[in-house]
Amino acid sequence: GAVVSQHPSWVICKSGTSVKIECRSLDFQATTMFWYRQFPKQSLMLMATSNEGSKATYEQGVEKDKFLINHASLTLSTLTVTSAHPEDSSFYICSASRGRGTGNTIYFGEGSWLTVV
Amino acid sequence: GEDVEQSLFLSVREGDSSVINCTYTDSSSTYLYWYKQEPGAGLQLLTYIFSNMDMKQDQRLTVLLNKKDKHLSLRIADTQTGDSAIYFCAESYGGYQKVTFGTGTKLQVIP
């Protein structure tokens, strides 16, 4: 079963509104979570690194005031797309690290499809 | 920065083998991954390999790594129509760090 859960899987929102996507690690604590975005027919691009209890680290070109990331607990990180516009429509996916040192400890959520109309 | 490249498209006949290739630039990569993404779905980790390995086999999947040339490949034996998807190779430095994805290869399996 899934060890990282995202919610919602699909969301449609009106232009100008905000939408929140949750990423939960179900049976382990994740001090670090990552948020990615995938535009149609393109690869996944890292948006930001979410650190529990501290501010997120954003990749170059990602607006931190538009994509608010909160990692309030060791099992939950949220991504809020503020004042969404149609160009924000994308597939957003999170990942969480479980432990260290072995290659299969990065788990991805199922992803969230955002459509802004 | 890191750069991971793949060919965009591969078409094979059902029952044949598929080989998807990937090149990367970061010599400090320690983990290399193959992910599968079906239409409208999330990512599925297929397999991974440590950078100190040359090969890893898992049922129908064989991963080959040429660290000198920074070349990674995924071979799918007896390809089935259910294997049709986009395949991403990816790399990370350390198993718990951010993952850098390739451009993705769309595999089309012809019945």
How far is C-alpha B3 from the chain's CA centre?
14
pLDDT tens series, chain B, 111 aa? 568 899 889 999 999 999 999 999 887 778 899 999 988 778 888 998 988 899 999 999 999 999 999 999 999 999 999 999 999 999 887 655 778 899 899 999 999
C-alpha span between B21 and B34 (Å, rounded): 11
Residues of chain A with pLDDT under 50: 103-104
Q: Do A110 and B50 touch (CB under 8 A)?
A: no
Q: Calculate how close chain B gets to A83, using CA atoms only, in Å.
A: 25
Q: Is B92 on the interface with A (CB under 8 A)?
A: yes
Q: Do A110 and B40 touch (CB under 8 A)?
A: no
Task: List the structure tokens of B94.
Answer: 């350390």
C-alpha span between A111 and A114 (Å, rounded): 10
Task: List the structure tokens of A65.
Answer: 């005031």
